[in-house]
Chains A and B, each alone.
Chain A
Amino acid sequence: MIEPDAALLDRAMRGDEAAFDALFLRYYEQVYKVLFRICGNREEAEDLAQDTFLELYHNPPASHPNVPLISWLCRVALNKGYNALRRERRTLERIARLDAPAYSGDDPAAEAVRAEEQTEVRDALAQLPERQSRLLLLRYAGLSYAEVAAALDVAPGSVGTLLARAERAFVAAYKAAEERAGSLERTKP
């Protein structure tokens, strides 16, 4: 039997460290993915993921059957990620930053291609309304429709429609980003 989040959280709130650890291990990767796509920087994503779980540790959500814990975590992570971006007021510069390759492959050429793709992805996400980019970040971090709905406070039945629009907008923005990158490449001496 997989221990339900609510039971783990209940025990964690009463000092059971193992229960908290189980929640951490259960959801860290999804939280990290959301943050990495916002920050484009592994270290910052890890820092913000730590902050997110610190929030869980100190200010756990009240038990609510309609809000899955992962939705709450991702909502906190999204807020932290976007707040970090706003604080620095250099969103575009940060999106273009390539200092944290996500893959640790040995092929430098592949790494460079991958880093370029990441830049374009974040560039495309930055072109979208924040609501759409949040939706994509959550869904592609693995949250279910219900979890996405709870995290963004939208009706579960509307997630499919919102997702279709966001994906369409994202793909268009990504193509534009690719073209911009290509034209920049062509203008290089």
Chain B
Amino acid sequence: MTGCNLYDEGALRSYLDPDNPLSEQEREQVAAHLATCPGCRARLDDLCHIIEKASAVLAGYASASDPHLALARFRRELQPAVAASAARPAATTTIALNSPVARSVAGTGRPRVAVSVRPAWVGIGLAAAMLLALALSMLLAGNVTRLAGSQQINNPDLTVAARTSPSPTPQPSGTPDEWTLLRRRLLNLPVVAPGAKCPVGSATQVVPNLPPQLGSGPVYATEPYFEVDTGDNPATRGWYSSKIIWVGRGDFRGPVLVRGRKLDGAGIVQLQHNGNDPVEDELRLDASNMNNADSWASAAYVQSPGCYSFQVDTENWTDVIIFQVEGTDQASVTPEPTATLDDWTLLGQRPVSLPTIAPGGQCPVSKGATHVLPNLPTSLEFGQGPIYLDASTADGRNFPAPNGVIGLVPSAINGITAYHFYGPWVGAPEYTGPVLARGRQLDGEGQVRFDYNLKHMQEQMRLDNYNDVSGTNWRFWPSTIIVPNTGCYAFQVDGENFSYSVTLQVVHR
């Protein structure tokens, strides 16, 4: 007999484990017990021998193949499958042209079809040749469509993924949902100079018994009429609001994503299904499970008169619906004081005050600092605080950026190819309020997009209470920053009582 109470074998095993799964207190308890218990010391020795033997034969002999080679194989084998399912769209070229299989658009009488080429995944040469021949034939026929007031977008970033294969493979479960796929399309709307004529499209009567509708379908918006909102919702009271009915063509099925913004200045469009739903920056219309009424009631909110546009994304189409919001007599209704506007609106009203530098000019890069985060002293942070941009990693690879220069190679993200880097934000504990980050290229026209917090390709990043940095009171927000090209980029960071900017230079690695 041992003369002492035998200790739990699991605790002894853990005590011996090189990964030290016991807490410091538990270790001390086991050590104290072992000092007084010969029986447990004998059991510990026995366990030690067992572990040594098991480790000798179980650990270390299964040498892995090179993970990079395995990854290359994975990518190689994955591509055909993904191409078939179109689960992860790549940059595509879209050509708008006439086709006998296309439907006719009300008000124009011109049918159209969008054809998508996926260079990496389909026989590019054959497909391109076929598309080129088709496009040429249509051009010669003089039928290339340009819709007044409702524009078909021809932009590689705005994939209009018409199905070129007769029977696409069903999308496997677990791939990004339909809304996510639609959301990946960049909001790509024209810019209208302040004071210039707003290119509003003509409303037509596509669907009877409703106000005239805008758009080229397959989903149309009834012509909006905006007036100052005097409702109970403090978030929108004082804004201009309009009821809008969205109607889908009878045979249309599928998800529809509606987003928008002001074209002749800074301004957002907020959307709402009905009075009880949240006001959001997008409207999701699901035409897959409709009954017989192909329509959805909604409301749109804008803050000021001007020229605005919706971007309507469906599976196979992207449509732009431009409309004008005019000040009315009712606009003289005194808007609620700014206190009723939410924090983001208040921060968003601050102008983005970033300099412009000539192309090729010296980029006034910010200098990074280490020892900002208490538990990650080597992490590299940019900014004067209390919010910092952490730019010390990019896709798991370290890159030296203490001088604010980031070397990147363009790669796929959200269905487009762009320069992007993982740039989380961290917030010191002394500030707990909202933070708005916006950015743009200083030496060019490049726009900045943020991918964060289950939102993505956003023009601005809203930092609210998200994650705590483990073991500290610091806040942490994962984000990826996406820019279209190399150049000098600045990010303005606005909080309740501070505003500063961080400037980084993106170079090709």
Instruction: Report which A residues bind B (CB closer than 8 A).
Output: 1-4, 7-8, 10-11, 13-19, 21-22, 24-26, 28-29, 32-33, 36-37, 42, 46, 49-50, 53-54, 57-60, 102-104, 114, 117-118, 120-121, 136, 140, 144-146, 157-165, 167-168, 170-171, 174
Contacts and interface: CB of A to CB of B under 8 A. Distances in A.
A129 B87 CA distance: 40
Contacts of A13: 176
15 contacts: A3-B395, A3-B422, A7-B422, A15-B176, A17-B412, A19-B422, A32-B65, A46-B70, A46-B73, A50-B77, A160-B13, A160-B14, A164-B50, A167-B51, A167-B54
B73 A60 contact: no
B10 interface: yes
Most buried by B among A14, A24, A54, A121: A14
Residue with the greatest number of chain A CB neighbours at <10 A, chosen from B70, B77, B379: B70
Given A1-B373, A19-B422, 8 more contacts: A1-B390, A13-B176, A16-B412, A33-B62, A50-B73, A146-B21, A167-B13, A171-B54
A72 B65 CA distance: 21
A118 B61 contact: yes
A165 B176 CA distance: 43
Interface residues of B, number: 64
A7 B395 contact: no
Contact of B21 (A7, A14, A145): A145
B387 to A, nearest CB: 15
Q: Which 3 A-B pairs have the closest CB atoms?
A: A161-B10, A160-B10, A59-B174
A13, A17, A49: residue with the most chain B Cβ atoms closer than 10 Å: A17
B414 A136 contact: no
Which secondary structure dominates chain A's binding surface? helix
Contacts of A104: 63
Given A28-B64, A59-B172, A171-B54, A16 B414 contact: yes
B509 interface: no
A102 B77 contact: no
Contacts, number: 179
Contacts of B174: 58-60
Contacts of A159: 10, 14, 21
Interface string B7-29: 01111111001010100000000
Best-buried of B50, B87, B173, B390 by chain A (most CB within 10 Å): B50
B202 interface: no
Contacts of A54: 74, 78
Given A15-B412, A50-B77, A59-B172, A10 B393 contact: no
B57 to A, nearest CB: 5
A98 B61 CA distance: 14
Nearest to A18: B395
A20 B21 CA distance: 29
Contacts of A146: 21
Contact of A170 (B58, B392, B413): B58
B451 A164 contact: no
Contacts of B62: 32-33, 36-37, 102
A130 to B, nearest CB: 16
Interface string B93-116: 000000000000000000000000
A161 B13 contact: yes
A47 to B, nearest CB: 10
B156 interface: no
Nearest to B395: A18
B10 A145 contact: no
Contacts of B396: 2-3, 8, 18, 22, 25-26
Nearest to B22: A160
Interface in B67-90: 67-68, 70-71, 73-75, 77-78, 87-89
A104 B64 CA distance: 11
Contacts of B64: 28-29, 32-33, 36
Contacts of B395: 3, 18-19, 21-22
Contact of B13 (A59, A60, A114, A163): A163
Contacts of A114: 61
